[in-house]
A and B are shown apart, each in its own frame.
Chain A
């Protein structure tokens, strides 16, 4: 049974019908494997193909090596280097922008401080000016008031003096009238005057 199946498998390969029985034996059992590939050698150790293996290995691996060396390695290396450079460049750019932003913030802070101090200064000046003006106004008003007061006092003094002066005359007239009524004679003006003056000083 095995023989026939083996025969069926090898038969198409065997062109010479006389070679078929040999093929049957080879393929049938493990022990006969060797016969199939000449010399009964385990195929990896079969030296009949070494020359061809070496030649084709040299051709294919040589080509592969050249391709790697000339095309692939420079290309991949270039890609990686380009990316590396790009990342470094982007980092530099980011650092530069950050420095710029920091500088802008610093300038802003400086300007803000300057503006603040300037505002403070302006407020101070305005306050100072207002204070000075108020003081000046007060001084002016006070001066005016004291002037008016002085004027008023002078006037009062005048009126008082005038009133005192008029008091003597009124007293003389009154005394003259009283004397006239009492004694029915006219007293001389000099006497009355003297009497009034004496009363005045006595009072």
Chain B
């Protein structure tokens, strides 16, 4: 009787542990499918960009699978992504990352949308030693924490605006005479952009005549612009996500601000060229990627071909241009494929080492990770909005319309 009970208990334990083991083992690679996990913002305030990201991931998975998938140990695997919706809240994102790793047994992660969410998830993936390749978290501060399992394909925030400052410096013989007004939101992401800007301004010894912190619920920046109007700077730099770009564009128009160089981030996300065509003329806008760079890889082809392919798949959502968020998401999936094949294994740490050794050209640009995990091979690009609302790639001061011409 006693023995029988022991056997039953032992059997049950064995069954539980086998099921548990099979659960984890099967979840990362199920049959011939490698499961990547991602908690991403499909609802809430980041939903728009979250969806761009998800479509970028899905498109890459489709193209790679159609091209034969991933070859590991002489066997071919397909890719698949398991998503959870983090509702644009960091706490939820961290919970879901834990759920992906612990319950679903995911051992390879794709990043969420935004630096804030990545900051919430990175400690979790780090704790479990799960490598994460992310495409949407650019904050410099993500790569100063000593994370070993975090890799980002995009350029970091400190590189967003310095190019505009270099071009402004080229506009004069003595850059130290240039007077610059800056206004940044106070969130961690924008604060990191500000650090890059202030460092560059200090390098040229330019004078910072106004340095305003914009509020998070940014619907009116008339006070900052009043100051700008009185101080008449040579350059105005504004950054505060797409709401900052929209508010700035609207009020620069209303207050008839005439500054020769205006640089701001998130122009395209805020669609300033469509909503404020007159004012937006001459705005300098940095971007992670443009579809006419001459970079390519064998899966997506050139940047333009990726763009065309993506539009063929999701054209209904993107009647005019495709946001770079989708492009970098696709690039992240491509890095996973490369890393799996280089590692020729599904061991987390072997794959992690393979990712850190990746050196490749993709349609999105070159990818090579620093020891901190950020991509150091790809530059940022600067574009200027033309009077017809198009974005022109600016590689130096000579390409630029200077000063910005607007008839208020």
A binds B: no
A-side residues, CB < 8 A to B, are: none
